[in-house]
Amino acid sequence: MTKLYIFEGVPGSGKTTSAKWLASRLGESAKLFLEGDQQHPADYESVACLTEEQLNEVEQECPTVRGMTIRKGERYYISYASLYEKDINTFERLKAYDVYELPVEDYLEVALDKWKEFVQQAKSGPHEYILECCYLQNPFTFLLAKHNCSKEMIFNFLKKITNVIMDLDPVIVYFEQDNVAENLENIRQERPVEWFDFITWYYTGQKYGKERGLSGVSGVLHFLEERKELEKEFLRGVPVRSLIINNTNANWDNIHDRLDFELGLVEK
C-alpha cells in the first residue's frame, strides 16, 4: 500500500496545486506537507544544526539558546524561524548554522538521517503522506546550484534516499513542460519580485552559476533546463514508481483524472 506520494518539477509546474488536490482526494488519512513547512517530517526548514563546540560559542552571546535544542547524536538542532520578530540577534546567529549551510558531507548525513526518521514514523502510523520538492528539488538545488557537485555524487545520494523510502511503496509524480522559459515567465507574473531575485542569486550567484558565467533570466533557465533533464534521467534509472507527466497545457481536470487512474483511486 502506498504511504508516500511526492510531487516534483521545476518552479511553477503545478506541484502545490496537485498535492493539495490529492490531499483532498484521500481525505482524513492524508497528511500534506508543502515546501517551506516548518513541521516538515522529511526536511529541515529554518533549522540550525550545530556541534557542541558551535553551540557553546553561540551560547556565550545568546544565553537562552541551549534550552531550544533537540539533540540527535552529536548534533544539536534548533528551529529558529519564530525568533525573527522576538530575538533578531539569536535568529541571525542561528541562521548562519542552517542545515542548508552545512558542508556537503555533513548535509548528506543529516538529510539522510531525517529521511530515515520520517520513514520509521510513517511506517508505524495510519496516515498517507503527501510531500513536495524534498526528494529531488532540495538536494539538486543544494548540491548542484550551491556546490556544483557532480552528477554521480547527486545520483548516489538520491539512490540512498530512494532505498530508505521504499518501505513506504512511494510514488513520485513529476511534472514537466515543453517550454520552461514560458512557464518561468508565467510564474514570475504571479509571484513577488523578491522570489525571482532570490532564485536568480541561488541558481546563478553560487558555485554552479559562477563556474559557468551565468546571470539573469538566461542563467536561471540554464539551471532549470539542466536540473529537469537530470531529474528525469535519475527517475528513469531507479526502481521507484514514477509518473512523468507533461502538463504544458495545464489542463488540470484531465491531469487529475489521469492521476486518479494511475494512483488506483478509481477503477479503470
Q: What is the pLDDT of residues 28-49, one digit of tens each?
A: 999 999 998 999 999 999 999 9
Sheet of 47-50: strand order equals: 47-50, 75-79, 70-72
| Global pTM value | 0.94
Tell me which residues of the chain have a pLDDT lower than 70.
267-268
Beta strands in the chain (DSSP E): 4-9, 30-33, 47-50, 70-72, 75-79, 128-132, 171-176, 241-246
Inter-CA distances, 82 with 34, 36, 251, Å: 18, 13, 38
> How long is the chain?
268
Least Cα distance to 135 among 2, 39, 231 occurs for 231
User: What was the pLDDT predicted at 267?
Assistant: 61
Q: How many CA atoms lie within 13 A of 82 on its CB side?
A: 6
Least Cα distance to 33 among 72, 63, 4 occurs for 4
With H, G, I as helix, E, B as strand and everything else as coil, classify residue 163: helix
Least Cα distance to 172 among 124, 134, 229, 228 occurs for 134
- CATH 3.40.50.300 domain position(s) in the chain: 4-44+102-262
Query: Integer distance in angstroms from the first to the last C-alpha of the chain?
Result: 18
Sign of CA dihedral 89, 91, 96, 97: positive
The third-level CATH classification (topology) of the domain covering 4-44+102-262 is Rossmann fold (3.40.50)
User: What was the pLDDT predicted at 260?
Assistant: 93
**Which residues are within 8 A (CB) of 103 and not within 5 positions of it... i.e. 6 or more apart?**
none
Q: What angle, 0 to 180 degrees and rounded to 10, lies between the N-to-C axes of helices 104-123 and 151-165?
A: 20
